[in-house]
Every structure is written in structure tokens, then in C-alpha cells.
Amino acid sequence: MLQVSYLRDNKDLVLQGLAKRNFKQSSLVDDAIRHDDDRKKYQFDLDQNLAEMNRISKEIGMFMKEGRKEEAEAAKAKTAQFKENVQNLQQQLKDSEAKLQEILYLIPNIPFEKVKAGTTSDDNEIIFQSHDVHGLGEGAIPHWELAKKYNLIDFELGVKIAGAGFPVYLGKGARLQRALVQFFLDRNVEAGYEEVNPPHVVNEASGYGTGQLPDKEGQMYFINEDNLYLIPTAEVPVTNMYRDVIIDEADLPVKNTAFSQCYRREAGSYGAHVRGLNRLHQFEKVEIVRLEKPENSYAALEEMVEHVKGLLTDLELPFRILRLCGGDMGFTSAMTYDFEVWSAAQEKWLEVSSVSNFETFQANRLKCRFKGSGKTQLVHTLNGSALALPRIMAALLENNQTADGIKLPAKVAEYARFDIIG
């Protein structure tokens, strides 16, 4: 969430940033400033009335002490109007603060200066590609057919148990999933990330803290009886570990990694592009999260990009890195890099990671700050997938299929304890 003082002091810059995003509700900036003006006025009037009440109370005490009862009673009569004023002003202040907060929740983050203007994924910048890509030729089959052929994943059984988008992993398919999770976690820990195992449900405050709420697109699963949400990513509980926390400057950066199941309704997703593992309601992902001093956050972002790049290199998968345009970035992000792997059987790119810097946008909601020798400041928060499992699994199966079976890359085979699926 952007601070209203930032909107007020940098209005032109904010409007330029929102234009980069192709954001259609830029009038919300003026609305926020207007409601902040109202809030300040109500607060000023409230303070004035409280001060006058306090003055009269002291006057009443003096009159009573001196035996001037009539004057004391007259003064008491005056306080009745002030009490009514105070009650009205407190309600007006409360309403204006709530409205201001509601508006601020609707304004997305401002893109970093390197982010291009744009409206769709077609406007994203390709900044790296590891290989020239091509299909596997005649006879190659997509991962959902490979999964059935080698009894790795049962999509129909998942439909029976829960519904579409909840696959059941079997045998070597389940073992390969577990191996990939362990490989990613080990590599993240080696890179200095402390492993945590967070809850897979969060409360409303946590959802607001990282920007999943308000859920404008209806993508979160909600447990009505307990007012809890199934997490869409481990980013949410891990980042919320630091909600309402003041961190010692000497303890920065904070680096965490976590494995979790992820739950997304994916409302409105249907068609051939969501077949198999391409888009699921439940999937496994390993996440990395960082808290940084503002001046270090973009160097940290590039370091995270290099880390994910190293993971994909070890998987021996063709991949590319894109810097997203303003219109394709998430609501909370100031800059995002997407990683995509090549699906040789489907002959298309599949997103497997997003690595983002949110600057102070989440930290302002979370009230996550740090303090050193100077004043208390908001941290910058960052996170990235390292990595999401479904499309990694799809690409590994499709890109490594041979006449003898699916031959796993060396690093994967080391963790899986088998080198071929056949």
C-alpha cells in the first residue's frame, strides 16, 4: 500500500507510474488526498474540542473549590455541547480513516523506473534465453500422456477425489516431486536462506498484509466458519512473520525459504491451455523471501534472479527470463522478472517463477520496519518462486522423453535416486 504522504508529495510521478500500468482509476489518487484532507480537518477539530473541554473541566474544578456553584453549573452546561461535538467528530474521523484506507487498498504499486509501459504479456522484455528452442518432432507426446503411459500422475483419480485441478501423483511421479522439492530447498539453504515451515492457512490481516486481500479476482479459497484463507503461496505466511515487527538494522537482510502446498481457485480458467499440469488448483512450490534495506533491494533482486537462473541451469531445461511491463505486473510489485521453461511437446513457454521487488508496498501494510542509528524506516520486501513444481515437472517429462523412457538430468537423478522412467 502506498502512503498517502507519498501520493501527495509525488502526485505527478504516481500518475506517470499508474499510466505505465494502464491503470484506469487514477482518480483514486485525488480521492485519497481529499479524504486525507478531511481526516486532518476532523482530527484538528476534534483536538480543539477536546482541548476546550479540558480547559472547562479545569475551570469547573476551580469554581467548585472557590464555592462559585452557579458559575460551575454554567460551565458544566457548556461541556454538554462539546461532548456531542466530540462524539460526532470521532465518528467522522473514524469514517474518513476507513474510507481513506479503502481507497489506498485499491491503488497498485508504482513501477520501478526500468519497467516499460505496456498492457499485456506481448509487451514484456525478453532479457535472457538459455537455448534456441524447437519441438521434439514426430512421436513426441505431451506430459499428460507421458504421465498416463508411465503411471506417474492420475488426473482422473484427482477429479474423483476433489475435482479438476487436483492431480494424484503416483510411484516415481510422487518420488520425483519430493526429490525436486528437496533439491530446491537444499540449494536455497546453501544460498543463505533459512528454511521455515509456515501454516498453509492465514487470517484476514495476513491476506491484507501482503496484498492478496481485497481479493478482487476471487482467486483465494475461503474457510467461512473460521474466517481463514488457504494460502496461494508461502510468500503470504512467511512475509507475515514480520508483521508489526521492528527489525534491528544489523539483522538485515532477512532471508527465508519455505515449501508449501499452494491453493488457487483459478476462476475463469478453462480450455486446452490448462490441460494436465499447466494450471492447477493445488500445487507444490518452494519460495524465497527477503527483507532488505531500501538501498540494497534492487541488488538483492538481481541476486535472486541469478539464483533461480542457476536452479534452471542445473535442471538442464531451456528457459528464458522476461522483465514484465507495467500492465502485466502483479498489483503489489514494483518490478518483476518471470522465468519460463520451454515445453518441447506442447511447443510453448510455461511460466515457472516470478521474482519481484515490492519496495515498501507490502511493508507499509505489514508495518514491518527496521531501526539502526537513524530513524525507523520501512523495509523493502522481495520474493520469488524457487521453484513452482507443476510446469517444471511437465517440462522435465516432455523435454527428456526418449525411445527408452524419460531420462532425468544428472542433478535431478541424484536426488530422485533413479535416472530413467521407463
Residues annotated within a binding site: 233, 264-266, 287, 351-354, 383
Which of 22, 230, 37, 40 shows the shortest CA–CA distance to 117? Answer: 22
- The residue whose grid cell reads 541424484 is 414
> Are 11 and 315 contacting, i.e. CB atoms less than 8 angstroms apart?
no
Name the binding residues for ATP: 264-266, 351-354
> Are 297 and 236 contacting, i.e. CB atoms less than 8 angstroms apart?
no
> Are 219 and 265 contacting, i.e. CB atoms less than 8 angstroms apart?
yes
Letter string b/e over residues 13-25, b meaning 16 or more CB atoms within 10 A of that residue's CB: ebeebbebbebee
Which of 412, 405, 232 shows the shortest CA–CA distance to 312? Answer: 412
The CA angle 97-98-103, to the nearest 5 degrees, is 100
CA distances from 270 to 263, 267, 342, 412 (A): 17, 9, 21, 31
Name the binding residues for L-serine: 233, 264, 287, 383
Amino acid symbol at 326: G
The CA angle 336-340-342, to the nearest 5 degrees, is 170
Letter string b/e over residues 268-307, b meaning 16 or more CB atoms within 10 A of that residue's CB: eeeeeeeebbbbbbbbbbbbbbbbbbeeebbebbebbbeb
User: DSSP string covering 359-401, please?
Assistant: TTHHHHHHT-EEESSS--EEPEEEEEEEEEHHHHHHHHHHHTE
> Are 345 and 384 contacting, i.e. CB atoms less than 8 angstroms apart?
no
The cell numbers describing 201, all together, are 492457512
d(CA 354, CA 321): 10
DSSP 326: G
> Are 308 and 384 contacting, i.e. CB atoms less than 8 angstroms apart?
yes
Amino acid symbol at 277: L
d(CA 242, CA 255): 12
User: DSSP string covering 138-172, please?
Assistant: TT---HHHHHHHTT-EEHHHHHHHT-TT--EE-HH
